[in-house]
Amino acid sequence: MSEARVPSQPATPPDPQPARRRHKWTMVVDLDRCTGCQACVVACQAENNIPLNTEAIYLQYRVIEWIRIERYWEKHGEEVRARYIPLLCQQCDNAPCEPVCPVYATYHNVEGLNVQVYNRCVGTRYCANNCPYHARFFNFWQPVWPSTLENQLNPDVTVRWRGIMEKCTFCIQRIRRAQREAAQEGRSLQDGDVVPACVQACPTDALSFGDILDPNSRVSRLAKDKRAYTVLKELGTGPNVIYLAKVDPYAPAPKKHDHH
Amino acid sequence: MAERGVLGLFTSAEAAASAGAALREAGVEFEVLTGSPYPEGAFGEHTPPHRLYVFPLVGALCGFSVAILLTAGTQLAYPLVTGGKPVLSIPPMAIITYEGTMLGAILFTVLGVLFESRLPRPLLGLYDKRITLEGWIGILVRGEEGLLGPVERILREHGAVEIKRG
Amino acid sequence: MHPLPRSTTTTRDHPVEEYPTSPREVAEDIVGRAEAPWPRWRWLVLALGALFLLGVVGLALRVGQGGDHTRWGYYAALLGFLYTVAGGAPIVSVATRMAKAHWRRPLARIAEVYAVVGVLTLLLFIPLMGVIPPAEGRNTIWIVGGVRQGWPPGAPVAYDLLTLVMVALGGLALLWIAAIPDLAALRDRGRGGLTALLSLGWRGTLRQWQVHRAALGVAGGLYFIAYVGGCIPFASDLVLSFVPGWKDSIFPAYYALSGLQAGLAAVVVTAFFLRTVGGYRRYIHVDQFWGAAKLLLALSLLWAYFHWSAFLTFWYGRTPTGQNLQVLLYFGPYRPLFIASLFLNWLIPLFAFLIGPVRRSVLGPTLVSFSILVGALLDRIRLHVATWSVPDPRGHTFEAVPPPVPLGVADGLLLVGGIGGALLLYVLALRFFLPMSAWEMKELTYLRVVRPFLKTRAVVLGKPE
Amino acid sequence: MQERRDLSDRQINRDLLWPVLYTPLWFWVAVLALGLVVSAGAGAAAWWMNKGPGVAGLNRPIMWGHLIVTFVFWVGISHAGVMLSAILRLTQAEWRRPMVRAAEVLTVFSLATAALFPLLHSGRPWRTLYWVFPYDFSRGIWPNVRSPLVWDPSAIFTYLTGSALFVFVTLLPDLAALRDRTTGIPHRIYSLLALGWRGTPRQWRLQALAGILLSALILPVFVSVHSIVSWDFGMAVSVEGWHATVFAPYFVIGAVHSGVAAVVTLMALMRWLFRWEDYIRSEHFDAIGRLLIVVATAWFFFFALEFLFGLYLREPQEVALRQAQVFEWPYNLLMILFLLTAYFIPVPLWLFRKVRRNVALMFWTSVLVNVGMWLERFLIIVPGLARKQIFTFEWSVYRPSPIEILMVTASFALVALGILVFAKVFPLVPVNEAKEGQVLKAEIRVGRRTVPAIVREQ
């Protein structure tokens, strides 16, 4: 039986496809730098043809934000502090959302990305239920843009249809372009070639993106920081988004559910 | 009429039973037609053995193998990794294989029931509506003219209210 | 649970052994032989007594070696085995009596007498009270126990003790109520002392019978609730809460169910011995083994079903805790035990009982029941020893799988002696309470008649409201 | 069993076959009314498909709502059916006779109705074919067998096929009776369906065998079906309150609870509509009431387990979920209603023999049970999603839209319509079972009293 090979320390899950793997894209979020300014949210909106989140949509709880700023309050004795944590699809190695899809509309590709196949999706919404990070978004309505905005749609990104699921792709279109350009120049990808929209837009440089398999890439170095932790570690989803805890006399030690 | 035979109709089970016993003594093979099930051998008839239990087993085997092929094949045909689970995940296969096995068993059982009770039967043959409508009991003997005469007499002796020849 | 009509099994002409047909035969047979239920039973008592002494020695050793709870796994396993098997057996009589199944009648007393073992489990628990770590910081069903220090007072052991007391008392009450008419019969044959006392001057008036029937129903229901409900704190405090972060809501149900399965198996094996050695051939027929076999088949399927539900949930969830749990319980050092009980409690019963002739025989169900009993013991060892071997039960996640705990001399002696002691109690009680419920057998003599039906013979079963 | 009457076969035919042979006015009225409701539901579904899933009250993270609740509900109802008839056949309970077929038919129609909902509920219903069937040879991408949503169709297909065939096989002798009773075109049709049944001992014996063998085969399927439905939720590691090991047996026993109650409702209606007082007698309600007490209590035990161990680790999200279910509006009200209707009102009532033998009371209590069981599914599914993880910023509320409510209502009408039409075409109480009951009826004299008894083959 395959389960017989379960390791006794599964916090780092077995790599399902080590042979074919060339990259393992990873993002590092330094919470000490994040100011919750939402620039990343806007940049993502513009880059990925995300439908407009009007007031009505907000009131329906049907916002689509591939990256969002989670706001929560930390109470320390008398004073209450606002805390921000940018949350996006964690591109989990053991993504709970993948196996539950009946039609293989989402699966794990060799670059460690959790990809969504729009035209396979029938919209059972099971993946959204099974995503602990609330990182999957459903097109309840047919997305429409005012005619003035139609020309700003990104030609590299599919415009989704109603009734299907979507989520952060780590700007896979930019990854592909970087790879193409590298190939044309006959060189291999270097660290910093791939810059997702949110990373590009972050004014405080709180977000960094790269290939964790490259030992001297920026994310590899940051991931070794002692502040590094992953969200909801106890679920064993193996996220590829690594957070660096806030440096703060009040900040709790990096452990699970530091939302209180 | 396809078959040559005589059908004696009885209003009471007792009469039919005694007639059956008499026929048995006379060494005549006969069949009982009733509108509702009676305990086995109630009319002294003997029912040939059946092979119904073979059918579900065969069906289960077929269903099992088909399900195994389908589940294993579809996982391997397009090896997509989901959730870090092995490409050939046994537990989900077990579930669907279970369903397939049971489906095969059920289908074959139904076929077996029809086959063993010799249905569907194109022609009704010697029969009488009152068997189901009035709860009469029919005793049917198939055979040659020479045999049918005495049989008919036996049936009448034991109180057959009506005799049908075919 | 009536036997299916013969036409549904492949054994066409099975020799029909007849039950006694008159109440007085029953009285002669059963009540008459009360003093020596079966030949050479004294020797049996002596042998079992010797085993029990071995157990006492084992306990002494275990206490002498000291150590924390990790050393007491096998002892806990013995306790769990006795609690579930002996606790589950009386349910057999309760449930089948509720279903008005006639085939239960010869088995009812055999099952109920197992309740006396409850006293032993109660005594066995007392040494553990000093060993079980306190509830603080552990997951327990004592909701506040983990949060507020030392509340509710004495959690968990005090409540487990209470549970065991309730089960023991409930079982004894059920046994006693069921036996009153027979105790009266013994009294009338001149057995005095406790028998006469417990028969409460029963005279068998119509009113007394009505009250008796109602009381039996109530006692049965209460015992059922006591046992199944008791499995929640028992399974939680003696298994689940020893592994940090193990959240398994089906487990108490599984614990109770596997107990029922093993309890029924114990009843079948006992019935077999009473039939062959004990000379109750006219009372215990194939009917009984057949009916039990069908129940055992159903229980074995449920056994696997509960296992599968838990296994699948953890396998699919893939949380670190869940995966470590599966290593600990299924794929790690205790794998052989798991495989063994998988065969003994599921595969063997399943495939044996799929065959009609095996179901409808005396030997078949007996052998399968024996395998179930062995499997149940191995299963309990796996569960308790594995979970108790975790050094620190506090915390919310289960990080490291501990090494296996070998079976020591003391543990071996304890297992042998504990089971021997339980059987000793059982045999003594069997002599006191009669191995067969005489009044129910008398009832059968006029509720079950064999009549000619047209040209065949048929059994006519009376179903009083 | 005191009220047993002697009935001639002719009498039994007349009593049990009349709904097939004559059509009362109320039948057409009922069909019309139900048809209207069903078409309204169909309209709602069409609207959903046309405008998009936005017309539902769903949102993030509450992606599943009324339609999934109703799916689980109807699958649950479908379990009674065959389970009841199977258990009673296997145990040869004499009181099974009038209710087996009604139960099986209820199974078939409720299951078929349930199967509609996951498809209608999806984002693109018109593309769900490659979810349900492995047919996509061209692209070579098949259904993902690792997904519980693929286990569902396989289980439901097996169960639906099995129970439909079960109904047909046990219907054969009654089809023969109808064939002999009717004339003209109906006669032709029934002759075709009866497959030339004559009622030889061999055929009858195989009937008995089929009943028992198919029951034995369908029981494990029935257990698996609702287990798999429960795993749609139990496998979701991310939803607190779904990922519980007890879910499979908890759902199954709950399904039995709601289903047996539904059979009681149906039997009461049959007794009233078709005037079958001689066949569906108070003693039957008594027996099934006793069964209900046991089932309900077993179910409550599992409910207690689920709730108790839901709080076992006392993690913040566990506590938050249970707080929502018990204390927060509107779930607190629903929780109270659910507990009262599903257990604390009916079960104490059933303890009284008088109540169990009172058809009207049994009818209303059984209806209550199913109100409660619907709420149970709602309280499992919706709050679980509303408090999914500790991201309090994302917690939301769910208000069903008229569209959803319309579709849910229509589902009830659809099941009722199906059973009504079936009752028009086939006898809803097995005629041959009733006759056999008369044959095997016996009595035993004990002293001055006669005890009702039944003949069993030696």
Q: What is the mean pLDDT of residues D368-393?
A: 92
pLDDT tens across D208-238, in order? 889 889 999 999 999 999 999 999 999 999 9
Q: Which of A50, A85, A125, A260 is the best mutation test for D, with the most CBs of D within 10 A?
A: A125
Asked if A185 and A176 touch (Cβ cutoff 8 Å), the reply is no
pLDDT (0 to 100) of residue C279? 82
Touching B: which chains, 3+ CB pairs < 8 A? A, C, D
Q: What is the mean pLDDT of residues A228-246?
A: 92
Query: How high is the ipTM of this complex?
Result: 0.91
pLDDT grade, residue D439 (50/70/90)? confident
Q: Give domain limits for chain B.
A: 5-49+125-165, 54-116
Task: List chain C residues with CB under 8 Å of A99.
Answer: 316
* D61 cis-preceded (ω within 30 degrees of 0): yes
Q: Give the best-scoring range by mean pLDDT among C143-147, C373-377, D429-433.
A: C373-377
DSSP B81: B
Number of Cβ atoms within 10 Å of the Cβ of D447: 7
pLDDT (0 to 100) of residue C141? 80
What is the average pLDDT value for chain B, to the nearest integer? 88
In angstroms, the CA C443 to CA C181 distance is: 12
* Residues 298-357 of chain C whose Cβ lies under 8 A from any Cβ of chain A: 315-316, 318-321, 323-324, 326-327, 330-332
Please name the member of C247, C458, C465 whose beta carbon is closest to the beta carbon of D309.
C247
Q: What is the dihedral of CA C130, C133, C135, C141, to 10 degrees?
A: -90
Q: Which helix (H) or strand (E) holds B139?
A: strand B137-142
pLDDT over threshold 70, residue C2: no
Both tokens of B121, joined, read: 């039967």
Kindly give, in sequence order, each residue whose CB lies less than 8 Å from that of residue A43, ignoring residues fewer than 6 positions away.
A197, A198, A200, A201
In angstroms, the CA D307 to CA D447 distance is: 53
Please name the member of C10, C312, C454 whose beta carbon is closest to the beta carbon of B91.
C312
pLDDT over threshold 70, residue A37: yes
Task: List chain A residues with CB under 8 Å of D239.
Answer: 129-130
- CB within 8 Å: C455 and B40: no
In angstroms, the CA D249 to CA D247 distance is: 6
Both tokens of C376, joined, read: 């149940």
Q: Which helix (H) or strand (E) holds B54?
A: helix B54-77
Asked if C315 and B89 touch (Cβ cutoff 8 Å), the reply is no
How far away is chain A from the Cα of C43, in angstroms, using its nearest Cα?
48
How far away is chain B from the Cα of D80, in angstroms, using its nearest Cα?
19
- CB within 8 Å: C2 and D458: no
- CA C312 → CA A194, C412, D193, distances in Å? 40, 34, 44
Kindly give, in sequence order, each residue whose CB lies less than 8 Å from that of residue A51, ignoring residues fewer than 6 positions away.
A57, A64, A139, A141, A143, A144, A145, A160
Please name the member of A96, A102, A163 whose beta carbon is closest to the beta carbon of D150.
A102
pLDDT tens across C337-353, in order? 999 999 999 999 999 99
What is the average pLDDT value for chain A, to the nearest integer? 86
- CA D387 → CA A119, A123, D381, D392, distances in Å? 30, 22, 11, 8
Both tokens of A30, joined, read: 């330094």
In angstroms, the CA D325 to CA C224 distance is: 30
Task: List chain A residues with CB under 8 Å of D131.
Answer: 102-103, 122, 124
Least-confidence region, from A4-13, B9-18, C59-68, D128-137: A4-13
pLDDT (0 to 100) of residue C16? 52
- CB within 8 Å: A236 and C318: yes
Three-state DSSP class for residue A38: coil
DSSP A72: E
Asked if D201 and B140 touch (Cβ cutoff 8 Å), the reply is no
What is the average pLDDT value for chain D, to the nearest integer? 90
Task: List chain D residues with CB under 8 Å of A141.
Answer: 52, 54
pLDDT over threshold 60, residue A7: no
pLDDT (0 to 100) of residue C20? 82
Q: Does domain B5-49+125-165 have CATH number 1.10.12?
A: no
- CB within 8 Å: D9 and B32: no
In angstroms, the CA D44 to CA D24 distance is: 31
pLDDT grade, residue C9 (50/70/90)? very low
* Nearest residue of B to residue A111, measured between CA atoms: B81
Three-state DSSP class for residue C458: strand
Please name the member of C320, C400, C401 whose beta carbon is closest to the beta carbon of A234.
C320
Both tokens of C154, joined, read: 């004495």
pLDDT over threshold 50, residue C276: yes
C210 touching A (Cβ < 8 Å): no
Q: Which of C8, C11, C455 is the best mutation test for B, with the most CBs of B within 10 A?
A: C455
Task: List chain C residues with CB under 8 Å of A8.
Answer: 324, 327, 332, 400-401
pLDDT over threshold 50, residue B36: yes
pLDDT grade, residue C305 (50/70/90)? very high
Q: What is the model's pTM?
A: 0.93
Asked if A2 and B90 touch (Cβ cutoff 8 Å), the reply is yes
pLDDT tens across C409-431, in order? 999 999 999 999 999 999 999 88
pLDDT tens across D338-356, in order? 999 999 999 999 999 999 9
Q: What is the mean pLDDT of residues B18-25?
A: 88
Asked if C264 and C295 touch (Cβ cutoff 8 Å), the reply is yes
How far away is chain C from the Cα of A169, in angstroms, using its nearest Cα?
24
Asked if C316 and D243 touch (Cβ cutoff 8 Å), the reply is no
Task: List chain C residues with CB under 8 Å of D453.
Answer: 447, 449, 460-463
- Look at strands A25-30 and A241-244 and give their pairing: parallel
* Size of the B and D interface in Cβ pairs below 8 Å: 192
In order of their start, the domains of chain A are: 19-244 (3.30.70.20)
- CB within 8 Å: B14 and C311: no
pLDDT grade, residue D297 (50/70/90)? very high
pLDDT (0 to 100) of residue B25? 85
Give burial (CB, 10 Å; 0-12/13-18/19+) of A149. exposed
Instruction: Give the residue ranges of DSSP H helices in D122-244.
Output: 129-132, 148-181, 184-194, 201-234
Both tokens of A250, joined, read: 């009040």
Q: What is the mean pLDDT of residues A158-182?
A: 94
Task: List chain A residues with CB under 8 Å of C399.
Answer: 9
Both tokens of B148, joined, read: 């049918």
Q: What percent of chain B has pLDDT over 90?
A: 30
Q: What is the mean pLDDT of residues C160-182?
A: 94
Q: What percent of chain C has pLDDT over 90?
A: 59
pLDDT grade, residue A18 (50/70/90)? low
- CB within 8 Å: D53 and A138: yes
Tell which phi-psi region holds residue D399, choosing left (phi > 0), alpha (psi between -120 and 50) or beta.
Answer: beta
* Residues 55-94 of chain B whose Cβ lies under 8 A from any Cβ of chain D: 56, 70-71, 74-75, 77-78, 80, 82-83, 85, 89, 92-93
How far away is chain D from the Cα of C370, in angstroms, using its nearest Cα?
25
